[in-house]
Each structure stands twice: as structure tokens, then as C-alpha cells.
Amino acid sequence: MALPVVRQVKSLLSLFAGEYFRRRSLYSIPETLKHAGKQIRRAYDLFRSNGKKLQDPSEWLLDNYYVIRRSLEQVEEDIPFAFHRQLPILEDPGNNATDRTRIFSLARELTPGPDSLLSINGAVSFLLRRQKKTPLTIGELWALPSMLRLSILEHLSNELHSFINGSGGGEGVSVAVLNLRKIEETHWKTFFEGTSQVERILRTDPAGIYRKMDFATRNRYRNVIEELSRKHRLEETVVADTAVRLALEAGEGHIGFHLLDRQGRAALEGRLTGKASRRPTSRKTAAAAYIGGVALLTILFLVLFPVKTALSLLLLSVPAAALASDLASKAAVSLTKPEKLPKMDFSKGIPDSCATMVVMPVIFSREEELNSLLEQLERHYLSNGMKNLHFALLSDFADAPFETMPEDSRLLEAVRGQNPFFICCTDGGNGTPARNAGWGGRGNGESFSS
């Protein structure tokens, strides 16, 4: 008799397998594309070999066949099964729909008839009205362009089939081509952010920072919302709203803390599930694990190569520790996924509130070096010159036996008045009585930032 745990595992596997094969059976896009592509290719070959005077439908197809082929490939590339299975489906899509996802049903509603063009502004209004009751997911909105292509390609295939068989049709070929072109020309990132309810919620960030970030960073935040929504089986709008509420409770905090930071995300998940959040692994714990790994590998190498004397053991421990450190570093790099830092959007210039300064830490030792340093700073300025971005030499003097030396004033005088640059110089050494050591790049940078 199977143990209860084994029965539960078998039950879960059966459930997941059943859901997988059910969704797989609903994934009809490759077959639909194959059928539509076959009909369109048949019409293209027929029109190309026809020596008679071409009619409007055939001209449109022959001249724009590359647009149609590109659309067929785009749909197949943009909606693989792994993505399709995440899209909500309709139990009764009606109208003999070739795809049962909710977004495809909406795409069919948005697809105009054979005598009218697709209206992007109309699509925005339509989606905003539809989402007053049930918001669309992030994935659905990103799938919309390809679903529109799929719907239009179906219409085009039917039009060409009717035209070839002499049962009418053909009038919508030109409209279908123009609509496919319009889909290519539309800026879908702007469309997405103008119709996403998750985006609308995130833009209420109490700190007012989210809307000022670049698109890649905002998209990274939305990806976290998607991930948490799937993980905890919650609406994406619920996850986004909870992140904003937690930021408000922190006193106009930024939502990024609860989406990207490990501690903040743990707090968010705790609020979503109503359970105590698991404490994330700290950097100290990670460092201890790395050092422990190096120590264990070093001991392992010493065990594998036994020695008889203490001197031999000491000599062998150095290369063993170096090899262990190298292996541990490579393992850490391969197992740790690097993350990009959040980024503000300064594509239209740096606002007054974010004015910043680019500094070059340098050591003033000889007057002959100053011109070279100023020329280098000028190249940076000419390459990146914009409002609210300033440039400076962050200078220090070489180590000296006294806090001030006779040549200091001469070096400073040589760089005065170098507009539009700033010259920032430390006021002396570190105060040691025997010798005034320069702070160097790091020390100067720390002093300048504080």
C-alpha cells in the first residue's frame, strides 16, 4: 500500500500532466499558421505564374508578400507554447475561434472588416473600456500585436481562397496588407504602458521615481509582478497594489525596495500570503559560505595529496588554497546571476533635481601633467556635454613630509580658470605627524561624496 506522501505526489504529477496536455491540445497556433501560410503561398504561386493582366488582389499580394511572410514568422516566434500556456483561456470562445485565449478573442473583435483599417487609438479606448471589470494580464497585452497579426492573416487567407475559387472576395487583401504594415509601425511599448492596469498602479509610486525610470527598469519591475502573480496565484493588479501600499506605509518609500530588494520582496510576499516571510539570505551568510567552501576544498586537496612533514604541509597549503579559491570563485560566478542596477531615464536630458558631476581623481605632482589631464577631461565633456552634467578634476597632492609644500600654490594657480570645469582639491594630508600621505582616488571620492 502506497504511503500517503507518495499518493499525494502521484496525484500532483497527474494533475500537472493533465493540465499540461490540456493546454497543449489548445495550442493551435502552429497549425493555424501552417494552414494560413499554405493558402497564401498557393495564391502567391498562382499569381506569379499567371501571364494574364493582374488584378488588384494579386498585385497587392505579389508586391507585399515579404510583409506577409514576416508576419507569419513573427507570430510563431512571439507566441511559443511556453508563453501561450500562461495566457488565460475562454471555455466558450464562440465563432469557431482557432485559438481559445482571451486575448485572441479580443484581437478578433479589434480586427476590422475588409473595407476598413485598424485604428490604434480605437484599440486603446476599446481595451480600457474592457478592463474596467477584468484587467488584462501583462502577458496578454504583450501578446496582442501577434494575435492581431494572426487574426488578420486568417482573414487574408480566407479572402484569397474565395478569390482563387471564383466565389468573390479579394477586396480585403489590400486592407489586410495595410493593417499588417500598421502593426509593424506601431510603437507597442507606448501602447502597452497606455493600456496596462498594472502600469497605472505602479505609476502611483509614493516616491514618484518609477515613472522617471527607463523602460528596461520599468519592465523589470513588471516582470517581478508577473512572477509573484503566478507563484501565489493572485491577480497582477493585487500584487502591484500591495507593493504600492507597503511603500506608502514606509513613508513615501519607493516600490523598488519591495520588488527588487531581497528583504523588501520577502516582506511583500509575506503580505500577499498572510504568512510570516522567510528571512532572505544575507550577504554575510553568502560570504561565510564562500569562505567555508574555500576552506573545505583546501582541506580536500591536502587530504588527496598527503605529506609527511609539517614544512611540506605548509608549502602545499599555499597552492591548494589558491586552487580552492579559484574553483570557488568560478562556481560562485556560474551559480550567481548578475543583476542590472535600476536606471533613470535621462534620454531627454538631466533635470535640475538630478544634477550630477563627473570627477577624475588625479594626483598633482608636476605642472607638465596638468595640460594632459585637462585635455582628457575636455574630451569627456565634449562627448557627454549636456545641461546639469558637470565635470571636475578631483585633485590631491603627492605624499609629502609637510602638510603644505612650496610648489602646491604654483600647481593650483596653473589650473585656475579652466572653465567650464571645476577643480576640487583636498586641504592637506591625513594628519599623520611623520608624513602627510595623500588620500588617493578612493579617499578623495569618499570625501567629495560626503
What share of the chain has pLDDT > 90, as a percent? Answer: 38
**CB-based contact 197:237 (threshold 8 Å):** yes
In this structure, how many other beta carbons lie within 10 angstroms of the beta carbon of residue 138? 22
In this structure, how many other beta carbons lie within 10 angstroms of the beta carbon of residue 400? 16
Residue 435, pLDDT score: 38
Classify each residue of 308-317 as buried b or exposed e, where b means 16 or more C-beta atoms within 10 Å of its C-beta. eeeeeeeebb
Return the top range by mean pLDDT from 233-237, 278-282, 291-295: 233-237
Point out the least confidently predicted range of 41-45, 65-69, 307-311. 307-311
User: Average per-residue pLDDT in the chain?
Assistant: 80
Task: Please state, in angstroms and as integers, the Cα–Cα distance from residue 410 to each residue in 272, 374, 405, 416, following that order.
Answer: 65, 16, 10, 10
What share of the chain has pLDDT > 70, as a percent? Answer: 76
Task: Please state, in angstroms and as integers, the Cα–Cα distance from residue 205 to each residue in 211, 213, 250, 342, following that order.
Answer: 8, 12, 12, 15
What letter would DSSP give residue 358? Answer: E
Point out the least confidently predicted range of 163-167, 227-231, 431-435. 431-435
Residue 15 has pLDDT above 90, yes or no: no
What confidence tier does 334 reach under pLDDT thresholds 50, 70, 90?
Answer: confident
How far apart are alpha carbons 88 and 111 in whole angstroms?
20
What confidence tier does 281 reach under pLDDT thresholds 50, 70, 90?
Answer: low
Residue 164, pLDDT score: 84
Spacing of C-alpha 173 from chain mean position: 37
Residue 258, pLDDT score: 95
Residue 436, pLDDT score: 47
- What's the pLDDT tens digit per position in 377-406? 888 888 887 888 888 877 766 666 656 666
Phi, psi angle pair for 392, to nearest 5°: -150, 155
Residue 358, pLDDT score: 84
What confidence tier does 14 reach under pLDDT thresholds 50, 70, 90?
Answer: very low
**CB-based contact 375:412 (threshold 8 Å):** no
Long-range interactions of 380-385: CB distance < 8 A, separation 24+: 381/420, 381/421, 384/358
Work out whether strand 422-425 and strand 356-364 pair parallel, antiparallel, or are unpaired.
unpaired
Task: Please state, in angstroms and as integers, the Cα–Cα distance from residue 27 to each residue in 53, 140, 175, 436, following that order.
Answer: 41, 15, 28, 74
- What's the pLDDT tens digit per position in 143-186? 999 999 999 999 999 889 888 887 776 778 999 999 999 999 99
Residue with the larger pLDDT of the pair 136 and 22: 136
**CB-based contact 211:203 (threshold 8 Å):** yes
What confidence tier does 138 reach under pLDDT thresholds 50, 70, 90?
Answer: very high
- What's the pLDDT tens digit per position in 17-46? 444 444 555 677 888 889 999 999 999 998
What confidence tier does 240 reach under pLDDT thresholds 50, 70, 90?
Answer: very high
Residue with the larger pLDDT of the pair 279 and 328: 328
Strands (E), 109-221: none
- What's the pLDDT tens digit per position in 108-131? 999 988 788 999 999 999 999 999
* 3-state SS assignment for residue 430: coil
What confidence tier does 372 reach under pLDDT thresholds 50, 70, 90?
Answer: confident
Residue 150 CB contacts under 8 Å (≥ 6 apart), including other chains: 29, 32, 33, 75, 98, 99, 104, 107
Residue 325 CB contacts under 8 Å (≥ 6 apart), including other chains: 294
Name the residue ranges covered by the structural domains of the chain. Answer: 15-195, 197-273, 283-335, 352-449
CA angle 364/367/368 to nearest 5° reads 115
Residue 92, pLDDT score: 67
Residue 249 has pLDDT above 80, yes or no: yes
Query: H helices of 305-347, where?
Result: 310-335
In this structure, how many other beta carbons lie within 10 angstroms of the beta carbon of residue 43? 24
End-to-end CA distance of the chain: 70
CA neighbor of 399 nearest in space, from 428, 358, 371, 366: 428
What confidence tier does 48 reach under pLDDT thresholds 50, 70, 90?
Answer: confident
How far apart are alpha carbons 296 and 302 in whole angstroms?
10
**CB-based contact 153:72 (threshold 8 Å):** yes
